[in-house]
Amino acid sequence: MKKNIMIIGIVLLSAIIFFLAFNYKQQQDPGTYYKVYLKDEEIGVIASKEELENYINTQNKEYMKKYQVASVNVPQGLQIKKITTYSNKVDSVEDIYQKLINKESFTIPGYQFTLRKDDRLIQIYVTDTDIFDEAVRMTMRTFVGTEDYTTYTETTQPEISTTGKIIEDIYVEDSITKKSMNIPVTETIYTNIEDLSQYLVFGANPTKETHIVKIGETITNIINQHKISVEEFLISNTQFTSERNLLFPGQEVVIEMTNPQISIAYEAYVVEDQETRYQTNYEYDDTTDKGVERTIQQGENGLERVSQRIKTVNGTVEYVIPIQKEELKPVVNEVVLRGTKDPYDVGSTSNWYWPTSNGWMVSSRFGYRPNPWTGQREYHTGLDLAGTGCGSNIYAVTNGRVVEAGYRNANGNYVCINHNNGYYTCYNHMSKILVDVNEVVSRGERIGLVGDTGAATGCHLHLEVWKGVYPWRNGYAGLIDPRLMYPQVFGL
């Protein structure tokens, strides 16, 4: 019996020794695993790299569907290094995944476009380069006009026989760079043309609302009420072609402020016939009773064919260069003899003299607009008249006394006149001032030359009209639209 027990013990002891020896031998053979790092920080160890990648794709089907991609890539800075170790301690792919999403975003393949706009960089992410290219083309159509853009790109613009317009170039002013990259899914990634073109025109967080037209409202009323420009209104409401289009009560219009993320420029050669409205010149007779007037010469409008080169950026005229003028019909000014004993520094409240030479165009209206310098929304305090050329004449609109003449950062060289009838006028961006403070000027007298001093993108006259208050003393109070003083010119 004792012998049997001894034999059994020897067998068991041999089995234990064999098992321990075998297990010890197993531990001597190293295993192959994968150590996971994120930006050089160790996250853990996994048994299979492929298993982690498949798990990432399984957990990110939402992104795969949203961005229409075949796979979702690991976060930027993620490294999976193969290791050989005797330790068989590994982490589950579920644990590693949770650690990753708590630290970094996963990525998808795509492209980054970087726009250098003035002093800032704008980065745009797309899944396909065609999305960016076509969105830019759609933005061009928005700011240039679909018809003009199409005839330009298809080289079907009609030649100018008498009057017309030829677009010479359409381009993006900003520098653009492109690179292929893995884009973090936390970024805004564009997958369709329409969304990206909306962003390029209106920015990331556009404010869009509907306005119901009331009785008596005009487009001018509505844009002033909502602090947008005419150009912005026409971009959002393509059924209209001009601020003069009529509205009807109950009609719905869209109010949306543009915030362009890209600078779309186009240059055009324009030839048009401009009616030259006659001026009314007064001759004064101190011996004739006040209020007695007599027309000595009837006025007749003239006609000029004007050629100009115009550059427009995002719907705003940047500069107008006069090329040629051809007189088709001479203008005949009206001459009126006026009897008055009033001092000469008292101006009329009607029949104002036009402040520039012929060939002018309105490059920017009175009211709200994006500032062409800063891009910020601002209240444009006057009427910009371009096209007469640098160094052309600026005239006093009616009799008055010069109260200011000098230089301001925004206004450049400027002159302000008190007309002693409740109105003040200010003339900005002059290249040269031709009058002095306290000097009495008469209607139509030359007071300065057109220039681009101060905050100006090109040579033009910025005309301001103030009613009842001294200029720049009380914010915008007293400012009025200069066009109101020329109802026949603007049809107001």
Question: If 0-12 CB within 10 Å is exposed, 13-18 middle and 19+ buried, where does residue 12 land?
Answer: exposed
pLDDT score of 1 more than 60: no
Which region among 1-5, 162-166, 188-192, 303-307 has the lowest average model confidence (pLDDT)?
1-5
Least confident interval from 166-170, 214-218, 423-427: 214-218
> Among residues 71, 104, 137, which one ends one of the domains?
104
Per the DSSP assignment, residues forming a β-bridge with 413 are 407, 430
Mean pLDDT on 418-442: 95
Taking phi over 0 as left and psi of -120 to 50 as alpha, with beta for the rest, 413 belongs to beta
Residues 227 and 279 in one domain: no
Residue 238 has pLDDT above 60, yes or no: yes
The per-residue pLDDT for 319 is 92
Are residue 138 and residue 96 in the same domain, yes or no?
no
Q: Nearest CA to 425 among 347, 491, 364? A: 347
Average pLDDT for 224-241? 88
**Do 277 and 343 fall within a single domain?**
yes
Res. 100 pLDDT band, cuts 50 70 90: confident
Element holding 190 (H helix, E strand): strand 189-190
Measure the CA angle with vertex 411, ends 405 and 412; round to 5°: 70
Note whether 272 and 389 are same-domain residues.
Answer: yes
Give the mean model confidence (pLDDT) for residues 13-42: 69
For residues 380 and 369, give the distance between their C-alpha atoms in angstroms, rounded to a whole number.
7
* Structural domain span for residue 167: 112-256
The answer on 155 and 78 residing in a single domain is no
- The CATH number of residue 365's host domain is 2.70.70.10
pTM of the model: 0.74
Angle among Cα 63, 66, 67 to the nearest 5 degrees reads 85
Asked if the structure places residue 172 within a domain, the reply is yes
Contact predicate 266/167, CB 8 Å: yes
Task: Look over the chain and give the mean of its residue pLDDT values, rounded to a whole number.
Answer: 88
Q: Is 284 in the same domain as 226?
A: no
pLDDT value at position 436? 95
> Per-residue pLDDT tens for 367-408?
988 877 777 788 899 999 999 999 999 999 999 999 999 999
What tens digit of pLDDT does each residue of 155-188 get? Answer: 999 999 999 999 999 999 999 999 999 888 889 9
Q: Is residue 19 part of a domain?
A: no
5 class by beta-carbon count within 10 Å (0-12 exposed, 13-18 middle, 19+ buried):
exposed
Examine the domain organization and report whether 245 and 317 are in the same domain. Answer: no
Looking at residue 24, its pLDDT comes to 47
User: Domain check: are 100 and 43 in the same one?
Assistant: yes
DSSP character for 286?
T
Compute the distance between CA of residue 333 and CA of residue 403 in angstroms, rounded to an integer.
Answer: 29
In a domain, 141, yes or no: yes
Residues 272 and 410 in one domain: yes
DSSP 371-411: -TTT--EEEE-SEEEESS-TT-EEE-SSSEEEEEEEEETTT
* Residue of higher predicted confidence among 150 and 64: 150
Q: For residue 235, which phi and psi values (nearest 5 degrees)?
A: -65, -40
Give yes or no: residues 236 and 297 share one domain: no
372 within a domain of the structure (yes/no): yes
For the chain, the domain total comes to 3
